[in-house]
Chains A and B, each alone.
Chain A
Amino acid sequence: MARRTTKTAGQPGSKRRPGGASAPSPTPTPAPPQTGGMRPWHLLTLGVLMSCGAGAVVTRGGGTVQTVAVIVTILTAGLVAAGLVRTLEPLVAADAGEETEMLAGRTRAALEREKMLVLRSIKEVEFDRAMRKISDADYNEIVPRLRTRAVGLIRQLEGGGGYRALIERDLAALVAAPMPAPTSSATLETIEAGDRADAAPEPPGTCPDCSTVNDKDARFCKSCGTRLAGDV
């Protein structure tokens, strides 16, 4: 039940995933506190366990009921002490934030859970279609809506922000990136021919990570969320 300090994606020490454009986060936050080493609840737990052991040793000749009573007393006192610390610490600690990563006003855990639920809903609708419990028209209406939502959530999780932050990062990357050198048409043809020769014949929409076959127009894998080759 220890408190945590807030980080926003893009700040040092945050849980931002690699691969995204390095643009400044729209929400500046203070530097994170030092973590590591024994925390208060570790010390409290250790103290309670050692006291229980000592209590068991001291009362070993007094009967089971007495020993159990002493151990239960120490454990419950420890629980109350932990509760008191947890209640008062936020009011008196210098740093009152928490380590929970915030993405566009929501926690990463909330976004991950919603992503999991949306992907699950897509699978359920596909199963219903296979079982003929839903018409093709309804399927074509529901699934694109869910996929759009899933794409949005995955982008938020990968990009570390909302749509505004994504657009700002993409623009900044385009402005900062140097113009590529002109390539001869012969070189281009050689590269493309080599690519075609190397490429294994896979059905379109196959996920490179989990090999799930997705729809041809899918941009993210419906099973694991990996960006697919066709997506730009």
Chain B
Amino acid sequence: MASLGSFLLFATFVICAYAIAASLSGARRGSRRLVESGVGAFYLVAATMTVASAVMTHAFVTNDYHIKYVQRYSDRVQPLFYKITSYWGGLDGSIMFWVFLLALFGALAVYVNRDRHRELIPYVVAIISGVQMFFLFLMVVHKNPFDTYLLQAPADGQGLNPLLQNIYMVVHPPSLYIGFVGMTIPYAFGMAALITGHLDDSWLRAIRRWTMVSWLFLSLGLTLGMIWAYEVLGWGGYWGWDPVENAGLLPWLTASAFLHSVIVQERRGMLKVWNVTLVITTFFLTIFGTFMTRSGVVQSVHAFGEDRALAWMFSVFMIAILLFSFGWVIRRLPMLRPRYDMDSWISREAAFVANNWILLIAAAIVLFGTMFPTMSEALTGNRLTVGPLFFNKWMMPLGLVLLCLTGIAPLLAWRRSTLSNLSESFVWPVTFALVVSTILVALGVRVWSAGICFGLCAFVTATIVQEFVRGARVRKDATGTDLLTATIGLVMRERRRYGGYIVHLGIVLMFLGFAGEAFKADTQILLKQGEQATLRHYTVRNMGVKVTDDGQKQMVTGHVAVSEDGVSVGMLYPARSFFRKHEEQPTTDVAIRRALDEDLYLIMPAYELKDQSMSLQVVVNPLVSWVWMGFGILVLGTGIALLPERAFEFALGRVPAGAATLSIVLLAASLVARAG
């Protein structure tokens, strides 16, 4: 099976080379035969990578420890679910998983666009195949996941890192990889547009959805990582500005910028060079992020380790990407002239440009802070660390400015806003924000950053509500329906716009959660059995420490009684787990009591079984649940924005006017009756 796997990787490498040659020569000669054959080879790559993935999965499931990768990341007592997901648990397998996902996504993108963008397809195939060839080359010559033991294989495996045996860590890597891999598609279409000279807006429209889907998966991957850090790592927070976290954040920032600036190009024919540059930069950052986490240039608990040969190969590839991409941008500059110039800084275009600049500056700061230790070591010999204080100091004001722009931009008119526009649009959101801020000051909120954040959240929320109300009124007047039906019709008709507003609402809720960090409280205490301690209005009492064993691991669980304002609210069970063969790496099982206003968070870093005493870290995290809820709203908004045209046209055709409203009212009434 290992030989089959290795053969498949080499064969896929050769097929990719054929796909490039056939597509490019077919495009240059105008030969449909060659182009179709090249596209067929592109689909064949997806098939062979599926087989290779099946071979790897089979090896894990059947405990084939002849393969070093399987022996390193699995063992006999590991649950079947984690055996299968160990495929992407290590460096070699993660690279193969990357190629597998890129092959599937690439095949889907080419199939969907085969008729709409026929002139671009040969070059899209060639570029994606080129990226695949690089990763396959890495595997074939350096990091073959199907490498076997030359002599007798061990009888059992080492097992997956216990920290990764968690549902979040199962979903988090595939989400991030889909996000990273997905950004190759916009890059390929962008480069194909540059090479062919078809630089009208059609290539943008082809890739906007792909970028949005990739952005969504990046968001999911980042949020799952935050949840994992919060619930598993057990340090009381969810974002530590770790280099691997930053590697995922960088393309997210530039992709967010692109999703906004593309609207300006579609409407006003501006920012053409900017958009192409953003697409290239986003793709480059996905490769750079992969380089960071796999080469050893950054130190992180998440990193795969150090590999200098890999670092060199990635460096050569990244230089090639930059030279190839910007070479074509420079060559096509005359065709990328804007249709219009910016007429006024008080315009929606200007707000989008400002938004882009803020996101790019944030990305630059994150990149600088992440690479500074490596650069300082290279230049001075001393590795200077950059911690969360640096990032928080710079990112907080940038985040507040971005939040402010989120509220301002939808209120501005295209091209130029008049005084009457501005007064009419801003009066209610600003009034609401001032009222909320005044109330907060009266209630005693004195942390300036959190106070400004709350005020801006109120401003943006009021902006979004105002846009919904005004849009619904316009539609109501145009269609003669009731306000609720008009609102539903408004969202369905203007899915991108109002889906985007819902995404903004999700971002507002996440910022609300971030602002809660300013009011965090924590303490660490040593409690004997029966003793208690108090933090804010919570009291925790040690009821004892118990040991259990499930065959795979031994768990030491603390039993803690919790009361709030003197009233008992139940028990919490912080624990420490010791996995077999990984006893030196115990995992922390955090106990969390969640509420909308705050979480009570318990960690048991140490214990003594003889006298049943425990060391307990108690943390109160205000508003943290809003971060997760905000992400849920973000997903909903993105889903609405991604709805296809046909779904809505079918509903319009079959459903009579007012039926949507009636259905929702009946559904809501039945849910209320059921809850009652």
Contact = CB atoms under 8 A, between A and B. Distances in A.
Interface of A: 1, 3, 6, 65, 69, 72-73, 76-77, 79-80, 82-91, 96-98, 100, 106-110, 113-114, 116-117, 120-121, 123-124, 127-128, 130-135, 138
Interface in B26-63: 32-34, 36-37, 39-41, 43-48, 50-51, 54, 58, 61-62
B143 interface: no
Most buried by A among B111, B115, B202, B497: B115
Most buried by A among B37, B45, B205, B474: B37
Given A79-B47, A82-B47, A110-B118, A73 B414 contact: no
Given A86-B39, A88-B40, 17 more contacts: A1-B43, A73-B54, A76-B50, A79-B46, A80-B44, A83-B40, A83-B44, A91-B37, A106-B118, A107-B115, A107-B116, A110-B202, A124-B494, A131-B471, A135-B413, A135-B416, A138-B414
Given A82-B47, A124-B494, A89 B40 contact: yes
A133 B348 contact: yes
Contacts of A83: 40-41, 43-48
24 contacts: A1-B43, A6-B32, A72-B58, A76-B47, A76-B50, A79-B47, A80-B48, A86-B40, A87-B15, A89-B40, A90-B33, A90-B34, A90-B40, A91-B34, A98-B32, A100-B118, A106-B118, A109-B116, A110-B118, A113-B205, A120-B645, A128-B414, A130-B478, A131-B470
Nearest to A78: B47
B611 interface: no
A3 B43 CA distance: 13
B20 to A, nearest CB: 13
A86 B44 contact: yes
Interface string B419-445: 001001000000000000000000000
Interface string B97-138: 000000000000001000111100000000000000000000
A85 B645 CA distance: 34
Contacts of A88: 37, 40
Contacts of B36: 3, 90, 96, 98
Contacts of B413: 132-135
Interface residues of B, number: 47
Most buried by A among B47, B61, B62, B421: B47
A121 B40 contact: no
A83 B11 CA distance: 13
A110 B205 CA distance: 12
Nearest to B26: A90
B76 interface: no
A6 B48 CA distance: 29
A65 B115 contact: no
Given A109-B116, A117-B205, A84 B33 contact: no
A96 B412 CA distance: 54
Given A1-B111, A79-B47, A121 B266 contact: yes
Given A1-B40, A96-B33, A127 B54 contact: no
B652 to A, nearest CB: 11
A86 B37 CA distance: 7
A107 B121 CA distance: 13
Contact of B47 (A80, A89, A108, A123): A80
Contacts of A110: 115-118, 202
A87 B414 contact: no
Contacts of A90: 32-34, 36-37, 40
A65 B62 contact: yes
Nearest to A109: B115
Contacts of B494: 124, 127
A56 to B, nearest CB: 17
